[in-house]
Amino acid sequence: MKIGVLGSGQLGRMLALSAYPLGHQMRFLALSEDEPSSLLGKTFIHNNNPEILKNFADSSDIVTYESENTDVTIVNKINQNTKVYPSDKSLYISQHRGREKALLDKLKIPCAPYQMVNSLDDLKRAIKSIGIPSILKTATDGYDGKGQFLIKSEIQLYEAWENMSGVESILEGFINFKRELSLIAVRGIDGSLAYYPLVENSHHEGILRLTIAPAQNISESLQKRAEGYMSSLLNEIKHVGVLTIELFESDSGLLVNEIAPRVHNSGHWTIEGAQTSQFENHIRAITESPLGQTTSTKKFSAMINIIGVHGPIQKALKTKSAHLHLYDKEERTGRKLGHITITSNSIDDLNQSIDNLKEYLP
């Protein structure tokens, strides 16, 4: 099939690398001809010319997107003639923290306490009910920790609200979590489901730096509980493709933090670490093919992000059981330039390889 991707970043790039072996062809709606996916299919430069959008859609049998910040009006326009998976519903919910939380409430999936905030007065009221510390976040457009303000004291309320630049926001209770986990799953058009194991994520300055897969010391019942939340969500929105939920493991149990209706940085380890990668399973789902096995290929995997600078690439190429994945992006502070996956049946070997690459970790 001809698969169109709205966006042409590293996620589109890795979707392409897994789609070609399945016999598909790729098209990208891009902002320029110098993006991570540009050489991996036909690129249509999106310059607000409706003709370009039409050509992109007409040249695709099916369209998907790589970001929850994708413009829903574009999705709806394409949807008139070309199927878009996941649907606009997945996008509509996940691009607004308020709608996301409302869905979690509806499905009785635990999450942090929250209140919507549209003014400083709202914020003052919300703080009274939610307490301190808490986090004020823009309702839309946040990623990698951007658009967030941690409120540690009531004297910060004005500053916090100023920081939101007046846009609709949400105040969330601060969760004193033990660790951050994520669960990635895929749902086929026929409703079939497949789950990857819970993984443990370490962030620094809001950016994911390290994922360990599977997360260690996870009971079967915890994995099942997370899968239960996932299946409720996937089935409620009739999601087609991969979906990711970020979770906090806390004293009060497992809390859902965020939903991403797409392949996710914390699932990059699956390229080598799982029988079928998240990228291949997303492609399988949206092309109405059977889902692939999500079993791990090795007992342990680790994924280290390459952030800002490329660092000691030759060393990465020499590190035992390591796989390099670069995105062909220019170096820039805080930018995701690539990642390295390490897979091993020995936790000692895994840790030794991680240690060997410690220059990549904060």
Binding residues (CB under 8 A) for a copy of itself: these are 13, 17, 20-23, 25-26, 39-42, 275, 284, 289-290, 292-293, 297-298, 313-314, 317-318, 320-321, 323-328, 338, 343
Tell me whether residue 121 is exposed, middle or buried, using C-beta atoms within 10 angstroms of its C-beta: 0 to 12, 13 to 18, 19 or more. exposed
Task: Report in angstroms how near the CB of residue 317 gets to a copy of itself at its nearest.
Answer: 5
Task: Report in angstroms how near the CB of residue 26 gets to a copy of itself at its nearest.
Answer: 7
Task: Report in angstroms how near the CB of residue 326 gets to a copy of itself at its nearest.
Answer: 3
Nearer to a copy of itself by Cβ, of 241 and 338: the residue is 338
Do 322 and 338 form a contact (C-beta atoms < 8 A)? no
Among all chains, which residue has been given the structure tokens 């709608």? 99
Nearer to a copy of itself by Cβ, of 20 and 177: the residue is 20
Nearer to a copy of itself by Cβ, of 112 and 302: the residue is 302
Task: Report in angstroms how near the CB of residue 240 gets to a copy of itself at its nearest.
Answer: 17
Do 161 and 155 form a contact (C-beta atoms < 8 A)? no
Task: Report in angstroms how near the CB of residue 360 gets to a copy of itself at its nearest.
Answer: 15
Nearer to a copy of itself by Cβ, of 99 and 298: the residue is 298
65 φ, ψ (degrees, to nearest 5): -135, 160
Task: Report in angstroms how near the CB of residue 219 gets to a copy of itself at its nearest.
Answer: 26
Task: Report in angstroms how near the CB of residue 359 gets to a copy of itself at its nearest.
Answer: 17
How many residues in total does the chain contain? Answer: 362
Q: Which residues contact 166 (CB under 8 A, 6 or more apart)?
A: none
Backbone CA torsion sign across 33, 243, 15, 43: negative
Alpha carbon distance 339, 243 (integer Å): 20
Task: Report in angstroms how near the CB of residue 347 gets to a copy of itself at its nearest.
Answer: 18
Nearer to a copy of itself by Cβ, of 28 and 85: the residue is 28
Task: Report in angstroms how near the CB of residue 357 gets to a copy of itself at its nearest.
Answer: 14
Sequential DSSP letters for 233-282: HHHHTT--EEEEEEEEEETTEEEEEEEESS--GGGTTHHHHBSS-HHHHH
Among all chains, which residue has been given the structure tokens 């999106």? 46
Q: Which residues contact 44 (CB under 8 A, 6 or more apart)?
A: 27, 28, 29, 30, 52, 53, 55, 56, 59
Nearer to a copy of itself by Cβ, of 133 and 312: the residue is 312
Nearer to a copy of itself by Cβ, of 42 and 225: the residue is 42
Give the three-state DSSP class for 149: strand
Nearer to a copy of itself by Cβ, of 62 and 245: the residue is 62
Alpha carbon distance 21, 14 (integer Å): 12
Nearer to a copy of itself by Cβ, of 113 and 312: the residue is 312
CA 304 to chain centre: 15
Do 271 and 206 form a contact (C-beta atoms < 8 A)? no
